[in-house]
Amino acid sequence: MSQNRTAEIARKIEDRQARIGIVGMGYVGLPLALLFSHARFRVTGFDIDPRKVEALNRGDSYIARIPANGIQLALANGFNATTDYSEIAAIDVVIICVPTPLNEHHEPDLSFVTGTVATIAPQVHDGQLIILESTTYPGTTEEIVVPLLENGNRGGLRVARDSSSPGIYVAFSPEREDPGNETIDRREIPKVVGGCGAAACDLACAVYGAIFNRTVPVSSPAVAEMTKLLENIYRCVNIALVNELKQLCMRMGIDLIEVIEAAKTKPFGFQAFYPGPGLGGHCIPIDPFYLSWKAKEFDFHTRFIELAGQINNDMPYFVVENVSEALNKEGKAMLGARVLVLGLAYKRDIDDLRESPSLTIIEILQRRGADVAYNDPFFPKVGRGRKYALNMTSTSLEQIPDFDCVVIVTDHSQYDYRSIVSKAKLVVDTRNATHGINADNIVRC
């Protein structure tokens, strides 16, 4: 390529001639692929799961919030999905959206990232832009992704640090998905971008600028990686604060929700966060541990962040203790009690089980000897996952009178809470879903 190689690539992006490849057709990658397709890019989705690939190529959706007609429109615009990673060679921009979970020791598990990069490295070519979106600790892009790309490609290419050098362009841009949020259009969410050099950052901003209304360039991938962690640690810490205050307010006989509603009338200096049964999703329960793990490399102990994580991790146990106490007051022991958990998803109105506190609550209840069932409109059946082995079928709400206790863990809007309360012997509400309903059989925790 010429000295103006980045300008040539940018023109290709502007003219919608650049081919986009999204690796990982999950909750982050699939919506991103559809955005690019809607913007008239030719998009290829890559995934190791042949069932997802087959569903997408049929025009079917496996994510509740993504309608099938959106996928069918993308197919008409040239979108396709594949398990064949050799097709990376024909792609101009590769965006990696794969999971970054924690292992059983609460340490970062980057195997999906390293496996993906090692797989695509032999296919990368001069002038190709590789962007990592997976949430991770600061340094991952430069310390792990770059060496894997440089050591694994067939042409001996290096990562290009300026516009004139041949090589691969690499950047990091954290995903900012908020499943279930229907109030903010995805295009309105600013896209933070940090490149390995100014040229990579400029190209990544050009790519994202085609589908997002605003890009936010920062000085390095590490800054972009830390930005994502700060956003979610901020939420984790504040949720831990209200979760701790909830426990105190219950002992003091004070309604914390009423306190929060009063406090948020202040027009400055306060943002409302609400208590719950624990944290779920891919980001908030995980991100603090990513930073805590990395901080140890610098002989730094993130005490404040780890304390918040501990408080939030303990909330499912707090819920179970309240269920046990509520049953005792009704003259019923936990051992042998029939308990119905309402909601498996980690938040309302989505079909996502990742890190859901419901899974932990069910597990604890079962260990305590309860006979546990669940209901969730998004999960008619649940088998085995990374952190659960339920092998259960959703129970009809018509059976509510047969249970000793109903525990509201996920406050789906489909539920008729007045009807649930009227049918149930005992309701333990962890989400304030029954606010405004006055009944003696409700315990709010």
Q: Which residue bears the tokens 């008409």?
A: 76
Residue of 201, 236, 283, 445 with catalytic role: 283
Q: How many CB atoms lie within 10 A of CB 270?
A: 11
Q: Give the DSSP H/E element, type plus range, for residue 204.
A: helix 198-209
**Residue 201 annotated among the catalytic residues of the structure:** no
Query: How far from each other are the two terminal CA atoms of the chain, in whole angstroms?
Result: 63
Helix (H, G, I), strand (E, B) or coil at 296: helix
DSSP secondary-structure letter at 102? Answer: B
Amino acid letter for position 376: D
Tell me the CB-side half-sphere exposure of residue 378, using CA atoms within 13 A.
22
Tell me the CB-side half-sphere exposure of residue 12, using CA atoms within 13 A.
19
Structure tokens at 421: 């309360």
Separation of alpha carbons 345 and 337, rounded Å: 23
Strands of 129-132's sheet, edge to edge?
Answer: 80-82, 42-46, 19-23, 93-96, 129-132, 169-172, 191-195, 215-218
Q: Which residue bears the tokens 């005490």?
A: 303
- Residues identified as active-site: 283
